[in-house]
Amino acid sequence: MQLTEWELIEQLKLKNNGAFKIIVDTWQNLVYNTVLGFVQNEEDAEDVSQEVFIQVYESIKNFKGDSKFSTWIYRISVSKSLDHLRKKKRKKRFAFIESLFGKDDELINDPPDFLHPGVVLENKENAAVLFKAITALPKNQNIAFILNKVEGLTYQQISEIMEVSDSAVDSLLQRAKTNLRKNLETHYHFNK
């Protein structure tokens, strides 16, 4: 007998490990792809995805069903991704400061350029430039853009995840496109 989504949620609230496994199996690709769009590193995306499911397991008692379950999981995925990026930025700053004071006497190198598995080889350089420009967007523009253009979510789905109106999502996406256009024009103007 196959359980409905709501029955799975109720079973998870009772800490049923079988229900948790089904939820992980059902949502792992969505979570991983969402996280990968933000953290832009496959290893980090795997780690953050695990954190998302730990949070789902620990916080399921707080899920009231006011939004769709997928919306709730998206919110956790976005939140965990942004937390990871903040921690990574802090570590990088600390490493830079350490190097200035001579602990290792050399700067920490940036990780290799982001290589998304869905990007064909000849487009990897352009994808790296694009994802760098997306990362440079203001936080809400970044979130809306990734959820819409990378994850393919509708304005309504994004508005539920971000807890803003559809018109606010439209505005964020318009500003994101304008900012991306400016950033990419600047990049290609100087590199040609």
Query: For residue 105, is it within any domain?
Result: no
Do residues 34 and 79 share a domain?
yes
For residue 103, what pLDDT is reported?
Answer: 45
Query: For residue 90, is it within any domain?
Result: no
Do residues 68 and 144 share a domain?
no
- CATH no. for residue 35? 1.10.1740.10
Do residues 123 and 177 share a domain?
yes
Domain boundaries, position 126: 113-192
Residue 88 banded pLDDT, cuts 50, 70, 90:
confident
Query: For residue 106, is it within any domain?
Result: no
Query: For residue 35, is it within any domain?
Result: yes
Convert the pLDDT of each residue in 56-73 to its tens digit: 999 999 998 888 999 999
- Greater confidence, 81 or 189? 81
- Dihedral of alpha carbons 177, 179, 185, 187, sign: negative
Number of structural domains in the chain? 2
Question: CA–CA separation, 106 vs 21, rounded Å?
Answer: 45
> Phi/psi of residue 78, each to 5°?
-65, -45
User: Highest-confidence range of 46-60, 110-124, 135-149, 175-189, by mean pLDDT?
Assistant: 46-60
Do residues 126 and 177 share a domain?
yes
Do residues 122 and 73 share a domain?
no
- Greater confidence, 112 or 133? 133
Chain centroid offset of residue 51 CA: 12
Do residues 6 and 44 share a domain?
yes
Question: CA–CA separation, 93 vs 31, rounded Å?
Answer: 28
Do residues 118 and 48 share a domain?
no
Query: For residue 50, is it within any domain?
Result: yes
Do residues 79 and 134 share a domain?
no
- CATH no. for residue 177? 1.10.10.10
Query: For residue 93, is it within any domain?
Result: no
Mean pLDDT of the chain: 82
Query: For residue 92, is it within any domain?
Result: no
139: helix, strand or coil: helix
Residues 6+ apart with CB under 8 A from 115: 124, 127, 128
**Model confidence at 108: pLDDT above 60:** no
Do residues 81 and 9 share a domain?
yes
Query: For residue 77, is it within any domain?
Result: yes
Question: CA–CA separation, 183 vs 129, rounded Å?
Answer: 10
**Model confidence at 144: pLDDT above 90:** yes
Token output for 136: 């440079």
Question: CA–CA separation, 192 vs 184, rounded Å?
Answer: 12
Do residues 2 and 78 share a domain?
yes
Residue 99 banded pLDDT, cuts 50, 70, 90:
very low
Average confidence (pLDDT) over 113-129 = 57
Residue 90 banded pLDDT, cuts 50, 70, 90:
low
Among residues of the chain, what percentage have pLDDT more than 90?
57
Indicate the range of 6-15, 67-76, 88-97, 107-116 predicted with least confidence: 107-116
Token output for 61: 């008692």
Token output for 156: 């309504």
Do residues 79 and 129 share a domain?
no
